[in-house]
Structure 1
Amino acid sequence: MGSLRLTFRTALLAATALAALATPAAHAADGAGVAVTPSSPAPGTDIALRVSGCAARTGTAVSAAFVADVRLTGAEGTLVGETRVRTELRAGSYDVQVTCGDTAHRTAVTVVQEPSPHTSPVAPVPAGGGGTAHLAAVDARGAGPGTAQAVTGLVLAGVAAAAVVLRRVRRSRGTD
């Protein structure tokens, strides 16, 4: 599971870097560049932040839109980090306070409301079933064991009972 998480984060950071090269970053009022990928996230979406123009190697980004503060790390004036947008948010603009070193930058993130897909299936999922799939489609409420299965079960139960009785008789006589 750890390697999957690492792969996801690496891909997210690579996508952030490519998106930052392809599109201009949103700039805070004081000139620092802050890029959010995706640019207009929906509630519950994982996002990545890229901040340029910071002299420090670490920083934080704080917003009411985030489930947790974003820990930003990097070098050469560019810091990156990731978080998730709160699932209960409504569409709108939310302030983001970015702090790196002794400086603070303000920007905003725009959360969009998308129609959420169903969180659980609304119909049976065709998941296969191999050779038993046709049995699942048959109504089995009235179908029980037939006469042959009932007789076989009774014979086996009688043999088992006779074996138990025979074993007890042998133990009580002392011959084993």
Structure 2
Amino acid sequence: MRSLHITFCAAVVAGTIALPASAALAGPAADDSRENRPGTVSVTPSRVSPGGEVELRTDACGKGRSARGNSEAFASEARFERAGGEELVAGARIRSDAAPDDYEIWVTCKDGHGKATGTVTVVRHGHPSPVAPVRAGGGGTAVLAEEAAADEGPGTRQAVIGLGLGAVAVAAVAFRGARRRRPAQH
């Protein structure tokens, strides 16, 4: 009987401790804490050369409709607008004189109920490489040289080589035909 009494008292104490904590989480303050907590900014691409552009996304503003973002790497202030749901989107251009480094991004919601931070990495300029074949070399004469070569056709050297190969082919066919026509001698 005594163990039943102790079990009952322990359940009441546990319920008393858990009730205020669950009531605090279920109250309206939980919704406000989402808007007041610091958020993050996603940056695409996260590594960019000076003069490049990045896309910024955040959902730190909750139901806010706009925000502003700044960074020492940006050429000007980024202005966020609603993209869908609770997400805000902005575009930003990296300063052309930005040194290679990691730069912090600060976003402040227009209504003052949210803030977010993120990072963008500025990298050195890479050497540009063509993504498709390029007509290069000789300036404007490259096109003229190509047209002249197409009009001339094969030269004397190619003609002599072709005639030699043709003669070898004729001799091979004649030799093979002559061997087939001989009667078999036993």
Compute the TM-score of the two structures, normalised by the length of structure 2. Answer: 0.46
Question: Which structure exhibits the higher relative contact order, with contacts defined as CA atoms closer than 8 Å and separated by 6 or more residues?
Answer: 2
Compute the TM-score of the two structures, normalised by the length of structure 1. Answer: 0.48
Q: Which has the higher helix share?
A: 2
